[in-house]
Amino acid sequence: MAFAHSQNSRDVRHDLETHLRAVAGLAAQYAGKFAAADLGYWAGLWHDLGKFHPAFQAYLANPVGARGPDHKRAGAILASKYANSLAFLIAGHHGGLQDREALKGWLRGKPGDTAAEEALAIARSEVSGVEPVCSPCFPPWLGSKTETEFFLRMLFSALADADFLDTEHHFEAERSAARGGTATLGQLRTRFEMSQAALTGKHSDRVNTIRHDVYQACMRAASLQPGFFRLAVPTGGGKTRSSLAFALRHSLQHGMDRVIVAIPYTSIIEQTVAVYREALGDEAVLEHHSAVAEDDPENPTVQEVRQRLAAENWALRSW
């Protein structure tokens, strides 16, 4: 049996195949949101294949002192065989993406260095289905070089996040569990609509009538296909709540996971966050900007811990 990581606080070692399949599943889930589940899966399955090498297993057994041998090149070599661009992701999943020339030189390795091929031979015997029947395909809509580079960075993010979270789950189960427990988008929509029902359409004066009309227009627009939408309403017209109502309903209708609101000026962000928290609950809103500060960073509250964890990947829900 090969291991991915050393013992945790419960003296349990992290099984390597279990780690590879968990990261593959998470990366596929994340990358599936931009039509790249297959690519995410293979990047996750291959990212740590070099850890099958006996030298890496010996390092895990006695990690004091020297750094462990390279564990990325084996998977990157396999990736270059089936989906060349995935080699960038695997080579950089700890230190960052390399440029093309640097990657080529690194893949060749030093003369006489057979460790990567030895690791691959072991992986092929230990992990069923470690090589695909056919090469994973990149989405046909990728066109320009800029689009491709952005796409690869999205894939890289999916892989890095999946690897980090599964490793955290092994070493810091309590921290991992603290990422969960927040409401779903469906529950948030229910909360919001209950809050909104106490306000909209309750008064017949001119301003409140316009606010109600704006809200109803946003509700109708939420059923439209995803794209770019514009809401042009004067100050006081109810844009903050109506746009949130649109976002929640639109996200649910089209299978999206979260609502991200980008606003200029911290003062306006803070005003908007206050409205959202009143409608949705404190735990449902991640306020993330330069002026956010904890009351006592050395002794954070449970809510502050959750907010701190959520800020790492803008994910309020459990992975």
Please give the full DSSP string across 195-261, using - where no structure is assigned. Answer: HHHTTTTS--SHHHHHHHHHHHHHHHHTTSPSS-------TTS-HHHHHHHHHHHHHHHTT------
Q: What is the C-alpha separation between 91 and 303, in angstroms, rounded?
A: 36
Cβ-in-10-Å burial (0-12, 13-18, 19+) of 109 comes to middle
- Asked if 272 and 289 count as a contact pair (C-beta separation under 8 A), the reply is no
End-to-end Cα, the chain, rounded Å? 27
Q: What is the C-alpha separation between 259 and 102, in angstroms, rounded?
A: 38
- Asked if 128 and 86 count as a contact pair (C-beta separation under 8 A), the reply is no
Question: What pLDDT sits at residue 74?
Answer: 94
- H helical segments located in the chain: 16-31, 37-46, 54-61, 73-82, 86-91, 100-108, 115-126, 145-171, 173-177, 185-197, 206-221, 239-253, 266-280, 302-313
Please say if the pLDDT value at position 295 is more than 80: no
Question: What pLDDT sits at residue 54?
Answer: 94
Quickly state the pLDDT bin for 3 (edges 50, 70, 90). very high
Q: How confident is the model over 212-269, as pLDDT tens digits?
A: 999 999 999 999 999 999 999 998 899 999 999 999 999 999 998 889 999 999 999 9
Q: How confident is the model over 157-205, as pLDDT tens digits?
A: 999 999 999 999 999 988 888 887 778 899 999 999 999 988 877 777 8
Please say if the pLDDT value at position 318 is more than 70: no
In the predicted model, what is the mean pLDDT of residues 284-298?
A: 84
Please say if the pLDDT value at position 313 is more than 70: yes
Mean of pLDDT over the chain = 90
pTM: 0.84
Buried b (16+ CB within 10 A) or exposed e, 263-276: eeeeeebeebbeeb
Question: What pLDDT sits at residue 319?
Answer: 41
